[in-house]
Each structure stands twice: as C-alpha cells, then as structure tokens.
C-alpha cells in the first residue's frame, strides 16, 4: 500500500521512508494538507498529516470522497481535526500520544535563556563586530521562582531543569504530579502563580477551557519584569493582548515557539511575501521577544518516536486494533 504524507520536512523524509521500508511505500510531500492540496489525496486509503494541517469538515469530506479511510496525524495535538465529522464519515483517526518530553522542555528553556541573556541581539551585534555589552544584561535564574502551568510529562521535565537551576517551583494543574511534589513544587491557583513567578512556562493542552488561558487579565497579573515562554499551543495566549502589554513596556522577555494564528504561516517560507498578520508582525519587532516556528519538538529523538508511533498506528488500523493513540476507531 502507498501512504500519502503531507507536511514532511527535508529532515523528516528519510526517517519516514526508512521506517516504512519493507512494509509500505510512502509518498512524502512538503506541502500542508488543506482545502487547496486535498485533491492530491484522491485514491489514497491512508493519509498522514502534520500538526498544522487543516482537517476541518470540508477537507475531511473531500478526503472521504476520494477514498481516504485513515488519518495518521504525526503529532500529539489534534485540535485541528474535526473528530465528530471524521466519526460520522467512518474515518479512523490516530495520533501520537507520547514522544520525548525532553525535546519540548529543553527548547522552552532555550527560549527562556535566549530572552533572559539577550542571545539573539548579542549574536546579531557580533556579526557586525560590535562587542559592546550595553543592553545585554540578564539575571540569574538561581534563587528565583519558576511558575509552570501544566505539570504533565513536559511540565515535569521543565521543572526538573528549573530545580537544577536552584529555582523555587510553583505549579498549576487540574491534578498534582507526585514527581513535581518531590522536587519541592508548591501548587497554587493561577493568579498566585502569575503574581509570584519570575519565569512562567506554559505546558497545558489547547482545549476549550484553556483557550486564551493567558488573556489580558492574566497578563496584567504578571510581574512587569517576568519572562513568559510558550512552547505548547499558540491559542493559550491572547496574542493581541500580549502586544498591548509589550507596547506598554512590560516583561523582561517573551519566548514563543507557537502562535495562535500560525496555521498557513508556520512551516512555510513567507520571506518574500507581505505580512498580512499585523499582530505577528508587531510581535517579532520587539527586541525582547523571540519567536520561532513551532520547532520545540524537532529533535532526532522526538521525531523518530513520532514516526515509529505513526508506523504502529497504520499497522493497528490495518489489523483492526485500537490503542492509546486511537482518537476515532474503525467503524
């Protein structure tokens, strides 16, 4: 069987082809699955999608009409998939429920360190042989407070690194993680966490209840010199409200690997096009803001695990099995 995979990067392609070798052929495309590209999938029973694919009702209906019966999403998040429509169409949907939490946690710390120590600004200066230190002063994380919203596997990994820095740990979640408690984490309500934390990192999934978890009121509750990092989902932060606070001169730094309107922008080369998103355009102009293109997961270890799980999801579908990765089972 030939599987069609959308949104495959150049680094990912040989890993994906190697993983399916001897089992199935895989056709890799670098374009994202959308209403414009869905006609390519006609005749493919199994389609693999990436996190920013459009799997709304129009795309799902087009896929079903073209013969697609199984969607293997290569990500943990699945808020881009209309599961009710997939269920009505009798389509099987699988995702990757787990991959290395260290990849995202370590990148969140990369962003935190980059904005704290002004690494991007310093690197740009030294390219011009400007070695002055003016404006590059950061601060020690040791002895300060890290607030972690979401203390699952990734949040726990982030907390372990913070503990290594010698930070006080505050946590917020619907359930307490025993491993985080062993690190000395104190669980508090969101308002207290925001008010007390020097560094705030987001590690919760994007659900209806967490959309704009960091809204205008939450941003105002944060310390003026706080550092905010989001490597989870863009919709957790009200980006327009964040711009308003940044314009007011607030926050020591902001690191964003995700953005609430990133679909159709991230993973694509937009360097020769006019920027239509005024909020994103404004965000990247602030000298103490670092924006990256949803790359926190992008390590050989994590991508390898994602691909291996995708191969298993395809095998489970063909064998009529369910697993913890099955979002919509075979009818």
Per-residue pLDDT tens over the stretch 146-165: 999 999 999 999 999 999 99
List of residues 6+ apart from 110 with CB closer than 8 A: none
Spatial separation of the C-alpha atoms in residues 98 and 82, rounded to whole Å = 21
Confidence (pLDDT) at 79: 86
- Select from 224, 297, 225 the least CA-distant residue to 258: 297
Cα 202 to its chain centre, rounded Å, is 10
pLDDT classification of 263: cutoffs 50, 70, 90: confident
Above 90 in pLDDT, residue 235?
yes
Pairwise CA distance, residues 250 & 106, whole Å: 25
Catalytic status, residue 294: yes
Of 113-122, 183-192, 322-331, where does mean pLDDT reach its minimum?
A: 322-331
pLDDT (tens digit, 9 = 90+) per residue, 277-318?
999 999 999 999 999 999 999 999 999 999 999 999 999 999
Q: Which of 74, 95, 282, 294 is catalytic?
A: 294
Of the candidates 74, 95, 203, 233, the residue annotated as catalytic is 233
Confidence (pLDDT) at 330: 86
Catalytic residue among 74, 260, 262, 288: 262
Sheet holding 70-73, edge to edge: 25-28, 2-5, 46-49, 70-73, 92-94, 326-328
In degrees and rounded to multiples of 5, residue 231 shows phi and psi of -120, 20
Average pLDDT rounded to a whole number, residues 72-95: 95
3-state secondary structure of 81: strand
* 213, burial (CB in 10 Å: exposed 0-12, middle 13-18, buried 19+): buried
| Collapsed DSSP state (helix, strand, coil) of residue 229 | strand
The answer to whether residue 262 is catalytic is yes
Name the pTM for this structure: 0.92
264 has pLDDT over 90: no
* Torsion angle defined by CA atoms of residues 162, 110, 236 and 121, in that order, rounded to the nearest 10 degrees: 130
Strands 92-94 and 326-328: antiparallel
Give 17-51 pLDDT, tens digit per residue.
999 999 999 999 999 999 999 999 999 999 999 98
Active site residue 58: no
Look at residue 52 in the predicted model and tell me its pLDDT: 87
């Amino acid at each position: 069987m030939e599987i069609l995979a959308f949104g495959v990067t150049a680094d990912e392609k040989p890993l994906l082809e190697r993983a399916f070798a001897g089992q199935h052929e895989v056709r890799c495309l670098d374009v994202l699955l959308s209403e414009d590209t869905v006609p390519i999938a006609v005749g493919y029973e199994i389609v693999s999608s990436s996190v920013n694919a459009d799997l709304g009702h129009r795309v799902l209906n087009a896929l079903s009409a073209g013969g697609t019966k199984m969607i293997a999403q290569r990500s943990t998040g699945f808020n881009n998939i209309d599961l009710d429509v997939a269920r009505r169409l009798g389509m099987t949907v699988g995702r990757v429920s787990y991959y290395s939490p260290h990849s995202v946690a370590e990148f969140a710390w990369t962003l935190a360190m980059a904005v704290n120590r002004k690494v991007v600004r310093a690197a740009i200066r030294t390219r011009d042989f400007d070695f002055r230190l003016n404006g590059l002063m950061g601060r020690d994380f040791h002895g300060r407070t890290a607030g972690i919203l979401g203390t699952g596997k990734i949040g726990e990994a982030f907390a372990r690194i913070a503990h290594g820095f010698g930070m006080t740990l505050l946590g917020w979640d619907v359930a307490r993680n025993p491993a985080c408690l062993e690190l000395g984490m104190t669980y508090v309500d969101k308002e207290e966490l925001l008010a007390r934390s020097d560094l705030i990192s987001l590690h919760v999934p994007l659900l209806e209840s967490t959309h704009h978890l960091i809204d205008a009121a939450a941003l105002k509750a944060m310390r003026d010199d706080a550092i905010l990092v989001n490597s989870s989902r863009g919709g957790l932060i009200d980006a327009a409200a964040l711009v308003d606070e940044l314009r007011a001169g607030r926050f020591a730094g902001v690191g964003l690997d995700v953005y609430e309107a990133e679909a159709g922008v991230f993973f694509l080369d937009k360097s020769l096009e006019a920027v239509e998103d005024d909020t994103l355009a404004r965000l990247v102009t602030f000298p103490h803001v670092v924006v990256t293109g949803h790359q926190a997961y992008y390590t050989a270890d994590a991508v390898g695990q994602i691909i291996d799980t995708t191969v298993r999801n395809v095998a489970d579908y063909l064998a009529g099995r369910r697993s913890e990765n099955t979002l919509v089972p075979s009818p």
